[in-house]
Structure 1
Amino acid sequence: MALNCPRCGGDKNRVEYQGMENGAVLWTVHYCTACCFTWRDTEPALSIDPARRKKVFQIDPSHPERFGVVIPPVAR
């Protein structure tokens, strides 16, 4: 089943890792290649359900110029 990204709504996601115990998958880490968001499927709905997330945390990956700088460039 394809999941849409909780942050941008995109469907360009991949599975990064699955936590397993006795051969059963307990949780899965997903990564969105459109907006670089990573989430675990067992996180609270307030974090991963787009209908419940605060709109301030949503982004539109078609406008990367609106992304804030998180890590400043290193001066050389």
Structure 2
Amino acid sequence: MAWGFTGCYEDKGDYDYRELAHATIGNVKAQYGASVGDTVIIKPEITFDIETKVGLKYEWSVELDSVFSREK
């Protein structure tokens, strides 16, 4: 009898979905060469496939172990 009641249960879940923006990073080479003491300046271009108003956070690192900037 309990199974019969669950079959008629109306799902009241949260179905307010929104599309996520996909980022594309351009103006970056796959590899850069530098010697000790050299300064490497990279200015990536980040674009999104849809307009987004969400606050973004940036984090730049080398080898994913040392964050050197959180600026855009």
* TM-score of the aligned structures, taking structure 2 as reference length: 0.23
Over alpha carbons, which structure has the higher Rg? 2
User: 1 or 2, which has the higher helix percentage?
Assistant: 1
User: 1 or 2, which has the higher strand percentage?
Assistant: 1
